[in-house]
Amino acid sequence: MGIEEARRIMMNHFANAARRFGLSELYGYIYGVLFFADEPLSLGEIAEKTGYSISHVSSALKLLESVGLVTRIKKPGDKKAYFTAIKNLKEWRKAAYYNKLLEDVQQTRINVQKALEEIEKDKSEEAEKIREKLKFMLKRNEITERIIKLLIKSDEEKLLEKLILCLDELEKERA
């Protein structure tokens, strides 16, 4: 029962992770099926293993592929598309979190800069308050962007260990 229970625990974990991101549990189950698969699976095989319809699985695979958690593979001489999950945790975190966070941070920067341009000539007190808030937001956003880029480019584990040491030092100073 150990192996099956371990699979069940992880399948539920993937389903709950999908729910935390506001998605159907289907996304987690698909990822879980592909995570445990020894070889790439076809759309039909994934639908069969998850119990969901081919159309639902197809839609979910498009999203999972777009965020980099699933890769589409073509086999020579076979017209079917096959899918595999990213299984390297470091690459998974980059694909699922860091790249999407970076995209959001970069879009935030663009929008804050546009908003600043809109009130550039306005010298009113209200515009000045908004400008200060936006400049603060831009500065925080810049720091966030640098941290995410570091996480993407560096040996993540070593960087995280150094960040933890810095956080521990800050906590000691505050105590």
pLDDT along the chain (175 residues), means of 10: 86 90 92 94 95 95 87 90 83 71 92 94 95 96 90 75 89 89
**DSSP 8-state secondary structure symbol assigned to residue 52:** -
pLDDT number for residue 72: 94
Task: Delimit the domains of the chain by residue range.
Answer: 2-85, 89-174
Residue 22, Ramachandran bin (φ over 0: left; ψ between -120 and 50: alpha; else beta): left
User: Distance (Å, rounded) from C-alpha 142 to C-alpha 14?
Assistant: 32
- C-alpha–C-alpha distance, residues 78 and 80, integer Å: 6
If we measure between CA atoms, which residue out of 104, 91, 105 comes closest to residue 152?
Answer: 91
At 92 the pLDDT is 67
Q: For residues 158 and 111, is the Cβ–Cβ distance under 8 A?
A: no
Contact status, residue 28 vs residue 7, Cβ threshold 8 Å: no
- pTM of structure: 0.61
Q: Which run of H or E residues covers position 168?
A: helix 156-174
- pLDDT at position 1 is 65
How far apart are alpha carbons 29 and 14 in whole angstroms? 6
Can you give the pLDDT at residue 151? Answer: 79
The dihedrals phi and psi of 68, each to the nearest 5 degrees, come to 85, 10
Instruction: For residue 102, give every residue at least 6 positions away whose Cβ sits within 8 Å of its Cβ, in sequence order, or none.
Output: 145, 148, 149, 152
Fold of 2-85: Arc Repressor Mutant, subunit A (1.10.10)
Q: How far apart are CA 120 and CA 114, in angstroms?
A: 10
